Chains A and B, each alone.
Chain A
Amino acid sequence: MQKRYALLCALFGAFSAGCYPGEIDTAAQTDLVATFHMEGADFTANHTYDMPDSVVDIGLASGFADTSTINHAHDAEVLAKVAAELAQMGYTRVDATTTKPDMVVLVSAIRVNNYDVWYSYPWWPYWGWWGGWGGYWPYGANSTYYYPWYPVTVTGYTTGSVFIQMIDPDVVPIDSTQATPIWLAAINGLLEGPNIGTRLDNNITQAFAQSPYLHTQ
């Protein structure tokens, strides 16, 4: 009979590991494509645009990092893809140094390193000396408490975001020091794996596909 109940307990244990079946198992599954457009914006009023030929590293430009946070190996690929999508929607690229464009398209990116600390750990040997426990916590400098729990686990992951902004100079910004985009695409995902170029390509396609109002006619 004891074996029987042990088996039942084992079965429950096996099932308890399955609260969240089918979780994310590839970096590409973390990809998100978000687009925002200004309410009332008339996208058909614009026919031409210009776009700087580089991807701005927001982390560096904003002072969050001293060195570049992104790998610029995909810059040309991303800019070409954006240009192709805009051309498909009827927009014509012009050179702003000679022709005033109806709008400006800006592409930027940032990479962020994230760290999570999991679970408890045998902290007492490390922090038991601290007098701060006295009076507030059930531990003290002479306490023999020890928590033989799991060691602390630190996991790190890197995420990347690409932003595509469409600026219409005819739209008066709320803040005169900042340009207000009439359309913004934000692509975010884990920066892992070998197929980042393909993921960028697919996600830029998706950004324009889910913005059917972007057309010149």
Chain B
Amino acid sequence: MRIKLIAALVLLVPATAAAQRTGDKWFGMTWIMSSPTANSKQFANDYSFRGLGMEWRQFKGPSTSVGLSLAWNVMNEETFETSSIKQVDVTGLQFRYINAYSILLAGHKYLGSNQGNSRAFIGLKTGTYYINRRVDVGIWTATENTWHFGLAPEFGIAVPLRHTVDGEAFYTAVRYNYAFASGGTPYQSWIGIDVGIATRRF
């Protein structure tokens, strides 16, 4: 219920258009859902509705932008299982969490014209991920914090809400996050689905 309320509030935030002109700036705020894959899925399998993102884009032409992206994803799983190591078997309820914070530089290319129509875009983000992995079992907690270098290709679409260049824009994107192995922690990956609002600032 709380998630739905927060999601509704995010989507109701007034904003302005999908930026499309040279010199324009884009500020976007998104609600991010995430689906862990590979190593991350083995650790915390559940589809997550917890995540937030913010990004700034500076247009370098009618169809190109560069920018900065900040995001936070929470993935978790509650599992009751027996773990065995040699002659030891341990059974208990495990609460596993991944909190992934990313600071990424971004580049985007936009398709279509900038006449106030919907515009699809593709982008590539790269930078650092700070990933906190935690397991609560019994009365004990094990935590691991690591910095990773990572890449995040994405595609999405921005839909102006006023049908003008300067209008408000709803946008959504699908992004594959890949944080390379670091400090003994295997690579982490997940697919993020952004739903949010972009506002253009002069």
Given A11-B9, A30-B138, A32-B137, are A20 and B88 neighbors across the interface (CB < 8 Å)?
A: no
Pairwise interchain contact A7-B9, C-beta atoms closer than 8 A:
yes
- Whether A32 lies near B91 (C-beta < 8 A) is yes
Interface status of A84 (Cβ within 8 A of chain B): no
B13 touches A7 (CB 8 A): yes
The docked-state distance in angstroms from the alpha carbon of A23 to that of B89 is 23
| Bitwise interface map of B from 132 to 167 toward A, beta carbon under 8 Å scored 1, else 0 | 001011110000000000000000000000000000
A198 to chain B, nearest CB (A): 16
> Which of the candidate stretches A36-44, A50-58, A62-70, A97-105 sits at the interface with the other chain?
A36-44
Give A46 to B177 CA distance when docked, in angstroms: 55
Chain A residues with Cβ under 8 A from B99's Cβ?
19-20
- Indicate whether B35 reaches chain A with its CB closer than 8 angstroms: no
Q: How many angstroms from the CA of A77 to the CA of B67 in the assembled complex?
A: 66
* Interchain pairs with CB closer than 8 A, number: 83
In the complex, identify which listed stretch (B74-82, B111-119, B122-130, B182-190) lies at the interface while the others stay far away: B74-82
Is the C-beta of B59 less than 8 angstroms from some C-beta in chain A?
A: no
Instruction: Contact check, B76 vs A31: say whether CB atoms are below 8 A apart.
Output: no
Residue of chain B at shortest CB distance from A18? B50
Q: A190–B52 contact, CB under 8 A? A: no
B196, chain A: closest CB distance, angstroms: 11
Is B42 an interface residue when CB atoms closer than 8 A count as contact?
Answer: no
Residues A21 and B74 in contact, CB atoms below 8 Å apart:
yes
Tell me the chain B residues, 1-40 only, with Cβ under 8 Å from chain A.
2, 6, 9-10, 13-14, 29
- Give residues of chain A (1-59) contacting chain B, Cβ–Cβ below 8 Å: 4, 7-8, 11-12, 14-15, 18-24, 29-39
Of residues B6, B86, B137, B138, which shows the largest number of chain A Cβ atoms within 10 Å of its Cβ? B138
CA distance A32 to B80 in the complex (A): 10
- Assembled-state Cα–Cα distance A23/B97 (Å): 10
**Contacting pair B10 A11 (CB below 8 A):** yes
Q: By the criterion CB–CB under 8 Å, are B97 and A14 in contact?
A: no
> Which of A24, A114, A157, A190 neighbours the largest number of chain B CB atoms within 10 Å of its CB?
A24
Are B29 and A8 within 8 A (Cβ)? yes
Complex alpha-carbon distance, A189 and B91, angstroms: 12
- CB contacts (< 8 Å) of B139 on chain A: these are 30, 114, 157, 159, 188-190
How many chain B residues touch A (Cβ–Cβ < 8 Å)? 30
Taking the complex as formed, is B93 at the interface, i.e. its CB lies under 8 A from any CB of chain A? yes
Q: Does A211 contact B (CB under 8 A)?
A: yes
Is A153's beta carbon under 8 Å from chain B? no
Residues B134 and A33 in contact, CB atoms below 8 Å apart: no
What is the CB-to-nearest-CB distance from A10 to chain B, in angstroms, rounded to a whole number? 9
Residues of B within 8 A of A159 (CB): 139
Q: Which of B14, B50, B72, B88 contacts A21 (CB 8 A)?
A: B50
Q: Which of A18, A23, A32, A39 contacts B95 (CB 8 A)?
A: A23
Q: Which residues of A contact B2 (CB under 8 A)?
A: 14
Q: What's the Cα separation between A23 and B9 when bound, in Å?
A: 25
**Residue-wise interface mask of A (136-161) relative to B, using a CB-CB cutoff of 8 A (1 in contact, 0 not):** 00000000000000000000010100
- Please name all residues of chain B whose beta carbon is closer than 8 Å to the beta carbon of A12 when the two chains form the complex: 52
Q: A32 CA to B93 CA in the complex, in Å?
A: 8
Cα A14 to Cα B50 in complex, Å, equals 11
A206, CB-defined interface residue at 8 Å: yes
Known: A11-B52, A18-B50, A36-B88. A24 touches B136 (CB 8 A): yes
A23-B136, A34-B91 known; 18 new pairs, CB 8 Å cut-off, are: A7-B13, A8-B13, A11-B9, A15-B52, A18-B50, A18-B74, A19-B97, A20-B99, A20-B134, A22-B76, A29-B93, A30-B139, A31-B93, A32-B92, A39-B87, A114-B139, A190-B139, A210-B91
B residues touching A (Cβ–Cβ < 8 Å)? 2, 6, 9-10, 13-14, 29, 50, 52, 72, 74, 76, 78, 82, 86-93, 95, 97, 99, 134, 136-139
Query: Can you name 9 A-B residue pairings with CB atoms under 8 Å?
Result: A14-B6, A20-B74, A30-B138, A32-B91, A32-B137, A39-B86, A114-B139, A159-B139, A210-B91
